[in-house]
Structure 1
Amino acid sequence: MISSIFGKTKPINFIILMGFLFVFYWTVQISLFKIELDTESVILKSLVLSVLLFSVFVVDFIIKRNKITSPNSYGILYFTLLILVFPETLNDNNAIVCSFFLLLAIRRLLSIKSLKNIKVKIFDASLWILMSSIFYNWAILFLILVFVSIYIYDPKNIRNWLVVIAATFCYFVLLYAVLTLINLTNYLETHYNYTFNNNVLTASYWTSSVKMLLYTIINIFLGSIGFLRLGKSGVGKITTLRLVSLSFVLGLLANLLLLRESNSAILITFFPAVIFITNYLESLKRKNVLEVILMLSVFVPLIVFISKLLIS
């Protein structure tokens, strides 16, 4: 049943998921986080929700444009389901906007494989990543993804490497100009202040959230299966999957270094996660097994969330 709906790309799939996200977002805000519905907060939350809903379209566009998976809607389905699993992400406006900018950056980086307008794509991706760092300072780690993309596709052209420096220079000049106008010049010093907490290296830190630990292990497992499957079939998607995997590692690292009390920053890893999951689902030959997995994926998180809502 579920596979017959989301196993194909249909406009109705967007309507279902958008409608669910809209209702789920406001349910979480009102019932779980107990926000006060004054005019200012409603306007702000509505804008953030719009960014989140548009992120679903961006995820679908990246997958289809780069042919990362077969034509289906499993990617946007699991992007929505991961938000259901981690509802705390919806209480962090920075997570939603940062994730959106990183999606735009990844979109440009994956398109470099066409070897057209490489410098423009590198500049755009660098700028999107730097803009995402306004919301999470450790998101700047994703510049590593830019350098790796250059190394993979066109490393001999020295100007490609210099484009990243040019984008960084433009970003900080424009940001400083804006900060000067609003009299917040100390923002750069306070925001881009990177500290490392040794607790990240301890076992207790990793096991403090069972949900996070399971999420990480499952994605590493599914990502490994994806590499093995593509390696055996000789499909040219292996390079794209490497970049996607690196984005997951960088997102996970940034999430740890941000030291959030909740798991809200994990949203920045959802895109590579849905690629791993979708590739695994496509590898399943038996339709009844696929249907069972899809049903469990939908109903188990929904039941858990409703139970949590009733308890709170």
Structure 2
Amino acid sequence: MLTQKHTYGIFFFTALAVLFPAIIENPKIVVANLFCMLALRRIISLQSDKNDEKKILDASLWIFVASFFYFWSLWFFVALYLALIIKPITYFRYYLIPVIAGLAVFLMATAYTTITKDSFVWIPGWVEAPNFDFSVYQAPKTILVILLILGIIVLTAFNRVWQIKSIPKKDRPNYLLIVQVLVVAFLTCFFSPHKTTAELLFLAVPSAIILSGYVEKLSNQWLTELILWIFILTPIVFIFV
């Protein structure tokens, strides 16, 4: 279990999503995030050693579908292969499944464009060059909010790694995998072809999991309430001030 049966995960995800109002104008990023969430669900479940081939295939297909809405969603294949590497029992054929899934997607996309556009050339329209212009993040309010939230997330992520020895061995792979997924999500944002802050939505899911896991284990009630109030008030201040 990545989190206990609390609503902290939903709360943190909602609070983080509200911080990025630009997502309203970027529905493709929202859709890509949805498919990446579905892929992440299958990736995390790989540790159970049941229906592994199906899970890998499902995750691969979800990531490829997400890439048609946001090309750099392909970074999530790094998370998939990391999950395979840390998996206790794995086979070489597992590493080939994403390649086979990619070939299947290529053939289907080629067939679709050939039928609908009378052309089999679609890859140039799919690939998006990264944009490293971060001027949209230079607004003082945006910088302050991002530094505050990322500071909390980084601290809780380090705490997650620090506390690894207290976690049962069977839960350790996924426990660390979420931190690795957070890094993958950051790379997905960093390579965004259009910087609008909406791309930061990719950080919401792994961040929400890490934050909820941290808060659930806190014995200090006032610190728990402080973190919750920060995530309640920050979106309000960000939007209305």
TM-score after normalising by structure 2:
0.88
Matched, 1:189 2:124: yes
Q: Which stretch shows the higher mean deviation, 261-270 or 126-135?
A: 261-270
- What CA RMSD, in Å, does the superposition of the two structures yield over aligned residues? 2.3
Matched, 1:243 2:180: no
* CA shift digits 1:63-108 (9 cap, x unpaired): xxxx111210000011111112222122211111000000110111
SS state of the match for residue 258, structure 1? coil
Among 26, 30, 33, the alignment partner of 1:96 is 30
Map 1:210-249 → 2, pairs under 5 A: 210=143, 211-234=145-168, 236-249=170-183
**1:297 maps to amino acid:** F
Distance of aligned partners of 1:213 and 1:271 in 2 relative to their CA distance in 1, 3 Å threshold: same
Q: Which stretch shows the higher mean deviation, 112-121 or 254-263?
A: 254-263
Quote the Cα distance in structure 2 between the aligned partners of 1:300 and 1:216. Answer: 12
Tell me how far 1:207 sits from its aligned partner: 6.9
Matched, 1:262 2:200: no
Counterpart in the other structure of 2:236: 302
Quote the Cα distance in structure 1 between the aligned partners of 2:230 and 2:94. Answer: 46
* CA shift digits 1:263-283 (9 cap, x unpaired): 101111211000111122123
Counterpart in the other structure of 2:73: 139
Quote the Cα distance in structure 1 between the aligned partners of 2:38 and 2:90. Answer: 25
Distance of aligned partners of 1:157 and 1:147 in 2 relative to their CA distance in 1, 3 Å threshold: same
Matched, 1:278 2:215: no
Segments ≥4 residues shifted beyond 6 Å: 204-207
**1:225 maps to amino acid:** N
- Asked if 2 retains the 8 angstrom alpha-carbon contact of 1:79 and 1:274, the reply is yes
**1:190 maps to amino acid:** G
SS state of the match for residue 290, structure 1? helix
Matched, 1:121 2:67: no
Q: Which stretch shows the higher mean deviation, 105-114 or 178-187?
A: 178-187
Among 145, 158, 161, the alignment partner of 2:95 is 161
Q: Which stretch shows the higher mean deviation, 211-220 or 88-97?
A: 211-220
Distance of aligned partners of 1:168 and 1:291 in 2 relative to their CA distance in 1, 3 Å threshold: same
Which 5+ residue runs of structure 1 have no aligned equivalent? 1-66, 308-312
* CA shift digits 1:248-294 (9 cap, x unpaired): 11111111111423110111121100011112212321323322432
Quote the Cα distance in structure 2 between the aligned partners of 1:206 and 1:303. Answer: 19
SS state of the match for residue 38, structure 2? helix
Distance of aligned partners of 1:163 and 1:86 in 2 relative to their CA distance in 1, 3 Å threshold: same
- Asked if 2 retains the 8 angstrom alpha-carbon contact of 1:141 and 1:254, the reply is yes
Quote the Cα distance in structure 1 between the aligned partners of 2:155 and 2:203. Answer: 15
Between 1 and 2, higher relative CO (CA 8 Å, sep ≥ 6) is seen in: 2
Quote the Cα distance in structure 1 between the aligned partners of 2:83 and 2:165. Answer: 20
Sequence identity, in percent?
Answer: 24
SS state of the match for residue 68, structure 2? coil
Give the number of equivalent residue pairs. 236
